[in-house]
Amino acid sequence: MYILGIDIGSTTSKAVIMNDKKEIVASSIVVATVGTDGVSLALEEVLNQSGLNASDISCTVATGYGRQTYEGADYQVSELSCHALGVNYIFPDARTVIDIGGQDAKVLSLNESGRMVNFIMNDKCAAGTGRFLDVMANILKLDISELESEARKAAKPASISSTCTVFAESEVISQLAAGTSIPDLVAGICQSVATRVASQAKRIGVKERVCMSGGVAKNGGVRDALSKELGVEIAYSDKAQLMGALGAALYAFDKINK
């Protein structure tokens, strides 16, 4: 028996296949916005990787911003529930989840059983989300995956005072023209995201163990700054961006085994 979890996000489509032992058999991440063929590509990739056919899948659960747009799912489940399930599978002792995706940031509180008991979300403003980092990386002509190494080279992180992405963009361009180094700018950019999300997290209350999920978790510059802002260690797994899809697969597993 195989089950499939698909997370159709604002920026990427993710898919995870699990077997009847609740083990991850294959996974894929495709950068593509909702409404494009990102979902089909993610499915094609995950099936190829596993060596399975679509007919081998007993249950499919879709989650994420674009879950309603996918007709092949047996169930559609909110990304909040799926991130909680996915994180609980990897870090059973996590009590706070900071999920920063391409277009929003969420902080979830989990109880001892890993169930979500509270959450807070910013989906109104690009600052404090992956979008902010994508825009800034573009200005600096860096790939998004290079932000971590650049931030870690910083001697004196730049201060980015504008909270609005559009104004912050002009601020970065002026600082660049004034000679601020790329590493200092990148560290300041990561810090700006961390400051926004940390204030969101403090509003809901931060209980350890704190874990990051979502694509921005891959950026160690943001993880380091967030850890400093909150005064806690941040647990990180290389499956961070897959947590929603993983949670969707776990939801499917429970449905099949009930």
182-204 vs 220-230: helix axis angle to the nearest 10?
50
Question: Cβ of residue 209: shortest distance to ligand ADP, in angstroms?
Answer: 20
> Is residue 40 involved in binding ligand ADP (CB under 6 A)?
no
Taking a C-beta distance cutoff of 8 angstroms, is the pair 134, 190 a contact? no
What does the alpha-carbon distance between residue 39 and residue 70 come to, in Å, rounded to a whole number?
Answer: 8
How many residues contact ligand ADP, by CB under 6 A? 20
Give residues with Cβ within 8 angstroms of 258, minimum separation 6: none
How many C-beta atoms surround the C-beta of residue 5 within 10 A? 33
> Is residue 12 involved in binding ligand ADP (CB under 6 A)?
yes
Interaction pattern, residues 149-188, with ligand ADP; x per rule: CB under 6 A: ----------------------------------------
Interaction pattern, residues 65-104, with ligand ADP; x per rule: CB under 6 A: ------------------------------------xxx-
Which among 51-59, 126-134, 185-193, 223-231 is the span making contact with ligand ADP, rule CB under 6 A? 126-134
Give residues with Cβ within 8 angstroms of 124, minimum separation 6: none
> Is residue 221 involved in binding ligand ADP (CB under 6 A)?
no
What type of residue is 100?
Answer: I
Which among 89-97, 140-148, 170-178, 194-202 is the span making contact with ligand ADP, rule CB under 6 A? 140-148
What does the alpha-carbon distance between residue 15 and residue 19 come to, in Å, rounded to a whole number?
Answer: 14
> First-to-last CA distance in the chain?
14
Q: What is the contact surface with ligand ADP in residues (CB under 6 A)?
A: 9-12, 64, 101-103, 130, 133-134, 144-145, 147, 214-216, 218-219, 241
